[in-house]
Chain A
C-alpha cells in the first residue's frame, strides 16, 4: 500500500516540494544543492490540476483528464482549488461552470462542497489528494522513495483552506512537513538563486488565486512584512468573462439553457484564446454554434484587455494596502517579482508596472518558481540543506477575531502578525455552575463577526462549578508555522485544563478524515493499524535519537539519578520498538517524555542562551543541582 512507502527502508526517502496550483501542479526536489522540477513519463513537468472520475472507480489525473473534460464535463473536475475549504453555499458554486453539486443533506453536510460524479460524490479534499498522488507517483519514478513534502498554498488562504490542503496531503499518503505560502516560496527560490538582498514585492496571480506579499531578503533571512490578496481571483475569472462573450456568439447568451459540454467548450476556448493573445494582437477561434453550425469569432487584445480590466483592477487595493501595511512607498522597493501564469497577460504586467512604478523583474519562470522554492524549503526542513543559513518568517494573512456580545468581531491577532503567533484572552462564566463555554472564532478585517469568515466554534468543557463570574478561563489562541489555529483553555483558579471541542464552520472534522483514510486504504482497518504502528515507530526512533544526541551534547544538564532513569527508559523504549505492540511503544514514548521534560526545558534554555550570545549559559547548568523535575514526575507516577 502506497501509504507505507514513506517508511520503505530500502531507498533513502527524499523530501519534495509541491506547488498545488489551480490550473497546473508541479513537484520539485533538490539535487546537488539546486532545486529542479520533476517531469512525468512524457517529460512534462506541469501536471494539469484536472481529475476525471470514470466508471468503475477509474480515476485519471493530468493531461489525459484535461482531454476528457470536453466530453465528460461533469465528471471531470478542473480548478478544484477554487472550491477547497469552502461550504456548499459558497458563491463559487454559482459561477459559470459545468458541475453538478450535491445538495447538502443537513447543516453538517453543507460544510464542504461535494461534486456529483456518476453514482458517487467527491469533495475537494479528495480531488486534491488525487492530484497530489499523481505528483507523488511522478516523484517516486525519479527518486524511488519520497520523504516529507512541503505543499504551497496561497498566502491569502484562510484557516479552513489551509487545513483542507493539509488534509489532502495526508489523504495522499504524504507526510506534510509544512504548508508554505506561494509568494514566500517564490522569494526563497529567487533570493537564494540570485543572492540578492533588499525589499521585494511578489505579485502572484495564478489560475484562481491572487496574492501580494512584501518581504525583506537579507542574508538568508526572508521576512514577510505584509501580505494581502483574494483567494477567489485569477485567470479562471478572465476565462469565464471571455467565455460569456464566446457563448453569446455561439448562440447561448446568458439566460439560455446551456449544456455542461457547451460551457466546458467555451471556457477551454477562452483559455486558449487568452494564451494566444499574449503574443498576438488578434485571434480567431472556431466554435460550435447553436443548431450544429460553426461560428468563427475574432477577439482582439484590446477587446480582451477591456473585458478583463475590472478583474485586473481588483488586485490594486490589496497591493496598495500591502505597501501601506509594510510602511513603504512603491519607489522604496528593490524589485517586483511576478509569479503565476496569469502574469503573462500583457495588460497585467502593465498594471503591475503602473502600481509599483517600476518594471517587474523578467528573469523568473512564473510557472516553476513556486515549486522550486517549495523544494528548497523541503530540503532544509528534512535537514539536507544548510538550514542554519536560512530563516523564513511569514505572517498571518487575515486578522483573527472572536465574536463578542452584540456580534462584534474583537481582533485578537491582527493581520501581518509574524507566525507562529499566539494571543491569550480571559473569559468568565455568566451563569452559576456553568461548566461549558462557547467561543466563535472568525477571520477577516470587517467589524461585524457575521461579515468575517467563520472559522470554528470552540466549546470548552469541564469548567469546575462556581458562582457566576468567579471562574476565570484563560484561552490561548495559537497559530503555528503552517498558519493553522489551535485553541487551548484552562481555568486559572483551579489550573484545570479544559477540553476544547472544535466544530469547524467549513471543512471536515477529524472523524470524517479518518473515514476517508479508511476508504482510501485497500484493507481499511488492517492497513490503518499497520500505519499507526509505523508512525509510532518513527516517533519512537525520533525520540531515541534526540535523547541520545541530547545525552552527548547536554548530558551535563542531568544529575546522576535523572541520567539513570533516562537510560533505563531509553532501553525500554528501544526494546518496545522491536516489538509490534502500538500500546507498548506509546507508553514507552510517554514514559521517556515525562522523564526528560525538565531536562528538555533546560536544554531549550541553554539553546536560547547560546542564541543570544553565550550570556547565561552557565546559569542553566547551575539549575541542574536544584532540579526536582524528575523526582516530581516519579512521585506522581507512584501515586497513581
Chain B
C-alpha cells in the first residue's frame, strides 16, 4: 500500500503535516463507519476497509520512518530492517552504551537522568531527520540510496526513545 496514493498527496519527505491532517479528516468524513450505519452489509464492509486504509496511510506518513520507507518503496528500494545496509559498528557500539545508560536510570528510578538522556537523543533525532530529508529530496533511486544509513540510524534513535518513553511511563 502506498500511503501517498491513498491520501492523494504529493510523495515527499518534508510534508506539511497540518494540511495532510486536513486531508485525513476530509476522507474520514466520507468513509467513517458512522456514515454507513443502516446501509447494506457489503457497502459497510467496503467503506470500513477503505476507512482502515486511510487511517493506516495517515499513521504511516506521520511516522518519519514509515514515510521514508514508503518514499523509498516507490523508487523500488527495499527497506526492510534485514535488507537495509549493515549498520555502522561505531553506531551500534554507541547505541549499546546509550541503552545501558537507560537501563540504569530504570533501575535507579532517576527521572532527571532519564530527561537528560531523552533530550540528547531528541536532539540527535532532529539532526538525523534533517539528513534524511536532504537525502530524500530526490526522485533518483541511485541517489536516494544515500538515505539508507540515515534511516538505519533513525530506527535506533526511535527505538531508544520508545524504550525511554516506556521507562517514563513506569516512573509516572
A interface vs B, CB < 8 Å? 148, 177-178, 221, 316-317, 320-321, 324, 380-383, 387-388, 391-393, 417-423, 445, 478, 480-481, 539, 542-543, 546, 589, 593, 596-597, 600-601, 604, 607-608, 610-613, 615-616
Contacts and interface: CB of A to CB of B under 8 A. Distances in A.
A388 B29 contact: yes
Given A221-B25, A420-B51, A542-B40, A604 B33 contact: no
Interface in B66-102: none
B56 A421 contact: yes
Contacts of B28: 391, 393
B46 A612 contact: no
A216 B8 CA distance: 25
A604 B55 contact: no
Interface string B31-55: 1111101111111001111111101
A184 to B, nearest CB: 12
A593 B40 contact: yes
Residue from B29, B31, B39, B165 having most chain A Cβ neighbours under 10 A? B29
A422 B52 contact: yes
Contacts of A478: 48-49, 52
Contacts, number: 109
A146 to B, nearest CB: 15
Nearest to A220: B29
Given A418-B59, A612-B26, A387 B31 contact: no
A178 B34 contact: yes
Closest CB pairs A-B (n = 4): A611-B30, A422-B52, A481-B33, A543-B40
Given A420-B48, A601-B46, A610 B34 contact: no
A317 B172 CA distance: 5
Contact of A178 (B37, B165, B168): B37
Contact of A421 (B23, B52, B166): B52
Nearest to B56: A422
Interface size class of B (residues with CB under 8 A): 35 or more
A604 B47 contact: yes
Contact of B34 (A317, A392, A593): A392
Given A383-B38, A387-B35, A422-B56, A324 B172 contact: yes
Nearest to A593: B42
A351 to B, nearest CB: 15
A417 B59 contact: yes
Given A381-B38, A418-B58, A611-B26, 13 more contacts: A148-B38, A380-B34, A387-B35, A393-B32, A417-B59, A421-B52, A421-B56, A445-B169, A542-B39, A543-B40, A600-B46, A604-B50, A612-B26
Contacts of B40: 539, 542-543, 546, 589, 593
Contact of B8 (A417, A610, A615): A615
Contacts of B25: 221, 391
Nearest to B53: A422
Contacts of B165: 324
B59 A391 contact: no
Given A481-B34, A593-B42, A612-B8, A421 B55 contact: yes
Contacts of B32: 391-393, 481
Contacts of B39: 542, 546
Contacts of B58: 418
Interface string B150-172: 00000000000000011011001
B37 A420 contact: no
A225 to B, nearest CB: 12
A176 to B, nearest CB: 10
A221 B32 CA distance: 12
B30 A382 contact: no
Contacts of A324: 165, 168-169, 172
Given A421-B52, A593-B40, A610 B30 contact: yes
The residue among A478, A593, A596, A608 with the most chain B CB atoms within 10 A of its own CB is A608
Contacts of B53: 422
Nearest to A177: B37
Contacts of A604: 31, 46-47, 50
A148 B37 CA distance: 10
A539 B34 contact: no
Nearest to B30: A611
Given A542-B40, A611-B29, A321 B34 contact: no
A543 B41 CA distance: 8
Contact of B43 (A421, A422, A600): A600
A539 B38 CA distance: 9
B130 to A, nearest CB: 21
Contacts of B35: 387
Contacts of A601: 46
A420 B52 contact: yes
Contacts of B147: none
A320 B28 CA distance: 29
A417 B46 CA distance: 21
Nearest to A542: B40
11 contacts: A221-B25, A321-B172, A381-B34, A422-B49, A422-B56, A445-B169, A478-B48, A543-B40, A596-B42, A600-B43, A612-B8
Given A317-B172, A480-B48, A539-B41, A608 B30 contact: yes
A594 B172 CA distance: 54
A439 to B, nearest CB: 19
User: Chain B CB within 10 Å — which of A321, A383, A420, A480 has the most?
Assistant: A420
B117 interface: no
Which among B8, B23, B165 has the greatest number of chain A C-beta atoms within 10 A? Answer: B8
B103 interface: no
A382 to B, nearest CB: 7
A616 B8 contact: yes
Nearest to B23: A612
A445 B163 CA distance: 12
Contacts of A608: 27, 30-31, 50
A612 B49 CA distance: 18
Contacts of B27: 608, 611-612
A392 B52 CA distance: 15
B42 to A, nearest CB: 5
B52 A607 contact: no
B55 A420 contact: yes
A178 B29 CA distance: 17
Nearest to B1: A424
Contacts of B49: 422, 478
A601 B46 CA distance: 8
A259 to B, nearest CB: 42
B62 to A, nearest CB: 11
Contacts of B26: 611-613
B23 to A, nearest CB: 6
Interface string B6-21: 0010000000000000
Contacts of B56: 421-423
A386 to B, nearest CB: 13
A401 B36 CA distance: 29
B115 to A, nearest CB: 12
Given A417-B59, A616-B8, A387 B172 contact: no
